[in-house]
A and B are shown apart, each in its own frame.
Chain A
Amino acid sequence: MNASVKPEFSPAAQAEIQRLIGHYPAERSKSALLPILHIAQAEFGGWVSPEVQDLVAETLGIKPIEVYEVSSFYTMYNLKPVGKHVLEICRTGPCMLRGSDEMTAHLERITGAKVGETSPDGNFTLKEVECLAACGFAPIVQVREKYYEQLDTPEAVDAMLDELRGLVHRPILSWEETGLPNSLSL
């Protein structure tokens, strides 16, 4: 994004933001900050720049610092540019017991990115996160609205990467729009 151009929300995002603000009492619209930051991140390339955060502050009528202190607290907000797909790799105990160390090593080998980096082709940012609440299907990677589960073989990891390489990157605002299969099993 060109820093000199002030970012603006698309009409679809603006409508969604107004719907969300309506969920809270009139004088409590700041409550919509977390959901609006999610929308902003989806709108502006998977991360929230200072300019985008200022736009969020303006939208809610709050001070920029009130956005910065929140965006820096929660791990889902990316404060630096990211690749097309951010792979949120679970590293916590239950995933480790089922092979997340090996899964992560394989991901690093195949993508050419270390954890915390973006692959040279710009496709994948590897981000280690803590427990994703899917421990029975470990090891797990979360990519946007999808959980990739039981990635306990190189083949399973490769299949995930292949699927992601074929996806078109665009802002996602509704579940229907994603068209991704839901990964549940009980």
Chain B
Amino acid sequence: MGRKLLTEHINVEGIDTMAVYRQHGGYRSVEKALKTMTPDEVVEEVKKSGLRGRGGAGFPTGMKWSFLAKPEGVPRYLVCNADESEPGTFKDRQLMSKLPHLLIEGMITSSYALGANTSYIYIRGELLYVLRILEKAVAEAYAAGFLGKNILGSGYDLDLHIHPGAGAYICGEETALLESLEGKRGNPRNKPPFPAVSGLYARPTVVNNVESIAAVPVIVNEGGEEYAKIGIGKSTGTKLISACGHVKNPGIYEIEMGVPVEEFIYSDEYCGGIWKGRELKAVVAGGSSVPILPKSLILKTAAGEPRLMTYESLSDGGFVTGTMLGSGGFIAMDETTCIVKNTWNFSRFYHHESCGQCSPCREGTGWLEKVLHRLEHGHGQMHDIDLIVNVAKQIEGNTICPLGEAAAWPVTAAVRHFRDEFEWHVTHPHEATRPGAVYHGGLVLA
């Protein structure tokens, strides 16, 4: 059983209230940081912890913090990215709704480290009920003197506000999120300048994922070095994995970095295997945008080493035989899953969510959806398979924000690992469109 740094008390009755949260050690990091540490010392602990951004990119949080420009007399902001929308990912929703005070505690300690006096949590609009839970917790934090003027007599002031989005995947991209927070369409900004220099209202801004900020209290309480002892190499600490798709026990699992993928899928401590006693066919390990891998390559690397739940191990082999940990949205697919249909579904998602700013993405995602639709529905030609790879490659690297890559990678990886299944859709259109019929090394009837 691994350590639970974030979710140890998640099922305690009333843990969403200030009183119960305090009984379980809540807000200790605020007291420790504000009373005994300088802001730079907090940043130093986060650097030592090796914490990497939990939203998907995996960029070291402490380093991101140290890039923040600090011109005299200019306000700076911390914005929490709670716009969780990467298909397969639902960890932040659970964390915020069950442990709202953990996020608020992390926001206070982190804002202190960065010298921000106003901070925002940007939460996706669909999670209106979670916004209510957070607002209630924020009110409790003000009443208890953890927010507002002169927090705990330290002379430090902080206001924290919750801001809802309104349905747009693109707002998970940090500069689109800032545009949206300013009351505009969520069109990502050109970079540079990066938000660390010119972010919200053109002020220096740090944008961090919910889970990253929720990890700050434990890092401050126990010290960065202690945190870094958990995990393997540059994958330190714990990670929330959202297990979904065809696993027997879907849900959120807090794992210590380094758990073998095979154990994660088949152990009763985690997913409990594949539902209905079926075989695993493929896994999308880090949210819909990371490359899909067949069973053989998700359980073991191309060199035959066991694949581990770490940033490094999952990306072993690059995009030829590897994938990414991403956001930890772990989507398992059983033997009755049609990879072509699933790829079409993901392409439809990216087409729908493209903001339309860059031509390669706006047009390319539409073409991907259209050509995959005809392949899935038995009207495809053999050259369509190369066409979608070609279109994907022309999107990749040619857009302002990473949505282009996110749309391209699932397609190129699906063709790379399941080309025979795409070809079967062309050569056997009648079988491919029969309800319940899928290809898994041959025709399978679900």
What residues make up the interface of A, taking CB atoms closer than 8 Å to B? 23-25, 28, 30-35, 37-38, 60, 62, 66, 69-70, 73-77, 88, 91-94, 96-98, 129-138, 142, 144-147, 174-175, 180, 182, 184, 186
The answer, among A25, A74, A144, for a CB contact under 8 Å with B166, is A74
Sample of 21 A–B contacts (CB below 8 Å): A25-B118, A28-B201, A30-B184, A34-B164, A38-B128, A38-B166, A66-B183, A69-B184, A70-B184, A92-B87, A92-B349, A93-B88, A93-B288, A93-B331, A97-B331, A98-B246, A131-B349, A133-B127, A134-B93, A138-B244, A175-B132
Contacts A30-B183, A76-B125, A76-B126 hold; do A94 and B87 have CB atoms under 8 A apart? yes
Q: What 0/1 pattern do residues 168 to 192 of B give for CB contact below 8 A with A?
A: 1100000000001111111000000
- In angstroms, Cα B343 to Cα A96, docked, is 12
Q: Cβ of A69: which chain B residues have Cβ within 8 Å of it?
A: 184-185
Q: Are A135 and B89 in contact (CB under 8 A)?
A: yes
The answer, among A37, A62, A136, for a CB contact under 8 Å with B243, is A136
Contacts A134-B93, A136-B243 hold; do A32 and B126 have CB atoms under 8 A apart? no
Contacts A134-B93, A135-B87 hold; do A94 and B181 have CB atoms under 8 A apart? no
Q: Cβ of B242: which chain A residues have Cβ within 8 Å of it?
A: 135-136
Which residues in chain B, 311-352, are within 8 Å of chain A measured between CB atoms? Answer: 329, 331, 333, 337, 341-342, 345-346, 349, 352
Q: Are B349 and A75 in contact (CB under 8 A)?
A: no
What residues make up the interface of B, taking CB atoms closer than 8 Å to A? 10-11, 84-90, 92-94, 97-98, 118, 120, 124-129, 132-133, 136, 161, 163-169, 180-186, 201, 242-246, 250-252, 284, 288, 329, 331, 333, 337, 341-342, 345-346, 349, 352-353, 355
- In angstroms, Cα B353 to Cα A94, docked, is 17
Contacts A93-B342, A135-B250 hold; do A74 and B167 have CB atoms under 8 A apart? yes
Q: Cβ of A62: which chain B residues have Cβ within 8 Å of it?
A: 183
* Residue picked from B87, B97, B331, B349, most chain A C-beta under 10 Å: B87
Chain A, Cβ-Cβ closest to B7 = A186
* Residue picked from B129, B184, B329, B341, most chain A C-beta under 10 Å: B129
Inter-chain pairs besides A25-B118, A94-B87, A135-B245, 8 sampled, C-beta below 8 Å: A25-B201, A34-B165, A74-B167, A91-B345, A92-B346, A94-B88, A138-B244, A138-B250
- In angstroms, Cα B84 to Cα A70, docked, is 20
Q: Are B349 and A77 in contact (CB under 8 A)?
A: no
Q: Are A97 and B333 in contact (CB under 8 A)?
A: yes
Contacts A135-B88, A175-B136 hold; do A94 and B166 have CB atoms under 8 A apart? no
Chain B, Cβ-Cβ closest to A34 = B166
The answer, among B11, B184, B244, for a CB contact under 8 Å with A135, is B244
- In angstroms, Cα B291 to Cα A178, docked, is 41
Minimum distance in angstroms from A14 CB to a CB of chain B: 19
Q: Are A37 and B166 in contact (CB under 8 A)?
A: yes
Q: Cβ of A134: which chain B residues have Cβ within 8 Å of it?
A: 90, 93
- In angstroms, Cα B168 to Cα A43, docked, is 22
Top 8 closest pairs, chain A to chain B, by CB: A175-B132, A74-B166, A33-B183, A75-B167, A76-B167, A135-B244, A136-B250, A30-B183
Chain A, Cβ-Cβ closest to B87 = A131
- In angstroms, Cα B333 to Cα A66, docked, is 43
Q: Cβ of A142: which chain B residues have Cβ within 8 Å of it?
A: 126
Minimum distance in angstroms from B441 CB to a CB of chain A: 20
Minimum distance in angstroms from B121 CB to a CB of chain A: 11
Contacts A94-B87, A131-B87, A184-B97 hold; do A75 and B168 have CB atoms under 8 A apart? yes
Q: Cβ of B129: which chain A residues have Cβ within 8 Å of it?
A: 145-147, 175, 180, 182
Q: Are A35 and B133 in contact (CB under 8 A)?
A: no
The answer, among B125, B165, B183, B250, for a CB contact under 8 Å with A31, is B183
Q: Are B251 and A136 in contact (CB under 8 A)?
A: yes
Chain A, Cβ-Cβ closest to B82 = A133
Q: Cβ of B341: which chain A residues have Cβ within 8 Å of it?
A: 96
Chain B, Cβ-Cβ closest to A69 = B185
The answer, among B185, B329, B355, for a CB contact under 8 Å with A70, is B185
- In angstroms, Cα B201 to Cα A117, docked, is 40
Q: Are B182 and A31 in contact (CB under 8 A)?
A: yes
- In angstroms, Cα B164 to Cα A145, docked, is 13
Chain B, Cβ-Cβ closest to A24 = B161
* Residue picked from B98, B166, B180, B201, most chain A C-beta under 10 Å: B166
Q: Are A186 and B251 in contact (CB under 8 A)?
A: yes
- In angstroms, Cα B186 to Cα A88, docked, is 21
Q: Cβ of A97: which chain B residues have Cβ within 8 Å of it?
A: 244-246, 331, 333, 337, 342
* Residue picked from B10, B98, B182, most chain A C-beta under 10 Å: B182
